[in-house]
Amino acid sequence: MRLDIDAGLIEDARFLSSPNCDDRPNGATPELIVVHAISLPPGEFGGHWIDDLFCNCLDPDAHPYFRDIFDQHVSAHMLIRRNGGLTQYVPFHRRAWHAGESSYCQRHGCNDFSVGIELEGCDEQPFEPVQYERLAEVIAALETAYAGIDRSRVVGHSDIAPGRKTDPGPCFDWKRLNELLA
């Protein structure tokens, strides 16, 4: 997997530009990878709803759940679908709005220095083997491109926003990911 460092993009990924991003603070570079899980509607997979949410075009009338979230301005750098497909929404050198109120090792505002990777999934169902494989490939590409990232700096959203977030959830197999990264 190749990462074009100048563009901040994974070449194998479909790129769909999200407006929900901005420049990182002066001197900030990626130093942390935050693993998330998302499904829209909750517990359902496939479709264009995640793309729509991250691009601010989610139809609030398409599903009752969407009425509560359609006006949120959120994004992630990347989404890994259940089939391993990759969509990138924000170049890695820019700040995606994925972590919200967060803290890692006493540093607040994790969006400033992290990469947000969403896995299509939820707390109640196991992730697909191909998702772990693709996640490991993306992490390896990020490690190569950014000196501040290493395998010890991969955390769940729940780790940086405890009590507020639960993803990627109890079904995420950290041991499996670590074996793929070894």
CA–CA distances in Å: residue 98 to residues 104, 154, 156, 172, 176 = 14, 15, 12, 18, 24
- The 10 Å Cβ neighbour count of residue 106 is 5
Omega prior to 126 cis, within 30 of 0 = no
Euclidean distance between CA atoms 36 and 76, whole angstroms: 9
Which stretches of the chain are DSSP H helices? 49-54, 66-69, 129-145, 157-160, 174-181
Euclidean distance between CA atoms 117 and 140, whole angstroms: 13
Is residue 128 part of the annotated active site? The answer reads no
Which tokens hold the place of 43?
Answer: 């517990």
- The 10 Å Cβ neighbour count of residue 152 is 6
Q: Which of 31, 118, 128, 137 is catalytic?
A: 118
3-state SS, residue 155: strand
**Catalytic residue numbers?**
118
